[in-house]
């Protein structure tokens, strides 16, 4: 077997975020502050893949400063829970075209949930690793009450969480 390679996300090329709905308009929040590592033996991908991806919640941006401040301080409580984390526990190919199913634990707001999400995983000829995925989740499953403003604006409980990671091999990695 070939050795386990370690890939690290490139801060300037990764993004993670969410899509939400509300009675007024739908919106998106995201950050490029993604870190962590992905490890695998390319010849035994499904048996050896492991990963931990960390998102800095303090830098989530919806493009509306007042909403961002309320989201971070009141709903996400970033002073107590500054990060979201996805830990990969199982990885399996779902078709020959590079689609995979990722199983793991996602931790948001101090609450961890087992999840399964579809994604793509491509080890490119230039050596970069490109991984994308998304999942539907409910804020309430993570102890977050969906925001209500002035009893008129309500944010839906269900959100779509998504990510796109570009990672490069660590220098000492095979």
11-39: per-residue pLDDT in tens? 889 999 999 998 888 999 999 999 999 99
Q: Which residues of the chain have a pLDDT value below 70?
A: 1, 150-151, 172-174
Choose among 7, 111, 80: nearest CA to 49: 7
Predicted confidence at residue 151, as pLDDT, reads: 64
Cα gap 128→7, rounded to integer Å:
8
Phi-psi region of 98 (alpha: psi -120 to 50; beta: other; left: phi over 0): left
Q: What is the mean pLDDT of the chain?
A: 92
Residue 74: how many other CB atoms lie within 10 Å: 12
Phi, psi of 20 (to 5 degrees): -130, 160
- Helix, strand, coil percentages for the chain (3-state, nearest 5): 15, 55, 30
């Amino acid at each position: 077997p070939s050795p386990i390679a370690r890939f690290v996300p490139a801060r300037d090329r990764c993004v993670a975020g969410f899509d939400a709905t509300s009675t007024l308009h739908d919106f998106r929040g995201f950050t490029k502050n993604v870190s962590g590592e992905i490890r695998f033996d390319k010849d035994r991908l499904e048996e050896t893949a492991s990963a931990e991806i960390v998102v800095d919640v303090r830098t989530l941006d919806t493009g509306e400063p007042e909403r961002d401040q309320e989201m971070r301080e009141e709903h996400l409580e970033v002073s107590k829970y500054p990060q979201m984390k996805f830990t990969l526990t199982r990885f399996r190919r779902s078709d020959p075209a590079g689609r995979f199913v990722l199983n793991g634990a996602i931790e948001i707001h101090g609450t961890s949930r087992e999840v399964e999400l579809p994604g793509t995983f491509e080890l490119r000829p230039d050596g970069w690793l490109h991984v994308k995925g998304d999942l539907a989740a409910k804020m309430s499953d993570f102890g977050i009450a969906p925001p209500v403003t002035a009893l008129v604006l309500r944010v839906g409980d269900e959100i779509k969480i998504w990510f796109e990671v570009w990672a490069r091999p660590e220098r000492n990695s095979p």
